[in-house]
Amino acid sequence: MTSTTAPAAVRPGPLARLAARLPGGWRDRAAAALPGPHAPPIPAGSATPRVAIIGSGFGGLGLGARLRQAGIETFTIFEKADDVGGTWRDNTYPGAACDVPSHLYSLSFAPKHDWSRRFPEQSEIHDYLRGVRDRFGLGPHLRLGTEVTELRYDEDRNGWDVHLADGSVERFDVVVSATGQLNQPYTPDLPGLDGFRGERFHSARWRHDLDLTGKDVAVVGIGASAIQFVPEVAKVARSVTLVQRSVNYVAPKPDGPFSPRAVRAFETVPGLDRLYRASIWARFEARWLLFRKGSRAAATAERAFRSRLGKAVSDDLPAEALLPDYPIGCRRILISNDWYPTVLSPHVSVVTGGVERIEPDGVRAGGELHRADVLIFGTGFTATDFLLPMRVTGRCGRDLHEGWRDGAEAHLGLTVAGFPNLFLLYGPNTNLGHNSIIFMLERQIGYVLSCLRRLHDHGLAAIEVRSDAQADSNRRLADELDDTVWAADCHSWYKTEGGRITNNWSGPTYRYWLRTLKPRWSDYVFRR
């Protein structure tokens, strides 16, 4: 499938401009170290790998844009929904917004100068992703309303059979999963749930047709989504009951609209947007100090948090409803300006200890029945179930999910031994607690492009990471993770029920940048 629209031009980055000024031999070495988009495009008419991309969020659209810039038009983006956008299409609950500033939560090669506010809201992010689709001419490459149910590797032809929900099968040379970590909503199987007489739904499947005005609302699960939608629900509901197993650290959100003058400056002053983006990245990168085990910065922040919030403890709102019992950073640190005012409102009550059972008229928790007309689950996602519900079968009939039964792992979060020509974006151990996931995605996209160029330029049919290379990189990862606060004894979506940390990267983002700067080809085996 080929688009007739020319891909949008991309300005060379500072590394590429510096490399261009170097003497010949050094220039060639520097160019080889740069990620795929900076390499010259493949000449038109050249045979290129057929690539299947699964998912049309930041990862899928970002890779599609970079493929076009690299001269690769032989790709298809499969999306099971009827629109692009991934999590920013699905999560439309009131108050939905990002906790990373706008200029950093966007693709570096597709800047948006006219963000309306410092932290973007859901609708603006979704519009941005639609704009990326149009800006880079990705429409003809999209297959909307098309769900991939199974991937099966064909060893005879060194390619993948992509099985679709309608029963058809299509063949590709390479598959890139861009389904992300937060795409399967989790609703706990609570006793009595089917007998509840009111309405119920998960925050990721918000019922916009349901008016909550004057209703008694119970919210089960107080995670990142609930921090945003509960204040909005509390504005109209008669009562709100929050049923939580644990408490979050919630910091102030330095948000606000950009002035017209600031927007004009971003649009007209050369390099200002890049400088501002870099300053955000650097400030967020410094927050890594909070996530190191035994960090003095974390201990200071935790003492300050407890000192300030301890003043709000009362008989109606005991310490266990406000003050976390785990180290700061062990779970995701959230940001909000209206969470604590909402919790302190007279018509909002907090119940600790979790749900005992659901009854026809409400939720029984803390030994009492809390009446509810509507039950909302803010229980997050099955984040550790990577690539599910797709079935993935690799070389020699290997079942990916069977291999991951004790926890998902991949080499640099990107490639898996036994599964040639399969790449993962936002795969195992590439999530962050301190910076923008878009930075990680762009590093992964550059890495995938380097591998595709290797296949094309050397006439190769398949690339597969060596099992010993994957084992070595994951041993190193595990050692580094042991020195983080995530290894502490707290429940979070960063790790499996068995306690293995499968979601988060083990260090600052610059470390991931260094390790993915250029693939180490000795880590891989190739087939012709």
Contact status, residue 82 vs residue 144, Cβ threshold 8 Å: yes
The better pLDDT of the pair 12, 84 is held by 84
Domain spans of the chain?
14-86+121-184+385-431+438-527, 193-248+292-377
- Triad 252, 428, 488: Cα angle to 5°: 55
Taking residues 287-301, report their average pLDDT. 93
If one looks up domain 14-86+121-184+385-431+438-527 in CATH, what number appears?
3.50.50.60
The sheet carrying 391-393 orders its strands as 169-172, 159-164, 148-154, 391-393
Taking residues 467-488, report their average pLDDT. 96
Res 27: pLDDT: 42
Res 246: pLDDT: 85
Taking residues 471-495, report their average pLDDT. 92
Percentage of residues in the chain having pLDDT higher than 90: 79
Res 43: pLDDT: 87
- On average, the pLDDT of the chain sits at 91
The better pLDDT of the pair 352, 54 is held by 54
Same fold yes or no, 14-86+121-184+385-431+438-527 and 193-248+292-377: yes
* Tokens 């844009």 belong to residue: 65
- pLDDT range class, residue 38, cuts 50, 70, 90: low
pLDDT in tens, 325-345: 899 999 899 999 999 999 999
Res 440: pLDDT: 97
pLDDT at position 237 over 60: yes
pLDDT at position 20 over 80: no
Options 3.50.50.60, 2.40.70.10, 1.20.1050.10, 3.40.190.10; CATH for 193-248+292-377 is 3.50.50.60
Taking residues 167-195, report their average pLDDT. 93
Tell me the residue type at 279. S
Q: Produce one character per residue of 334-371: b if its CB has 16 or more CB atoms within 10 Å, e if not.
A: bbbebbbebbeeeebbbbbeebbebbebbbbbbeeebe
- pLDDT range class, residue 311, cuts 50, 70, 90: confident
Cβ atoms within 10 Å of 297's Cβ, excluding its own: 16
- Triad 419, 425, 430: Cα angle to 5°: 105
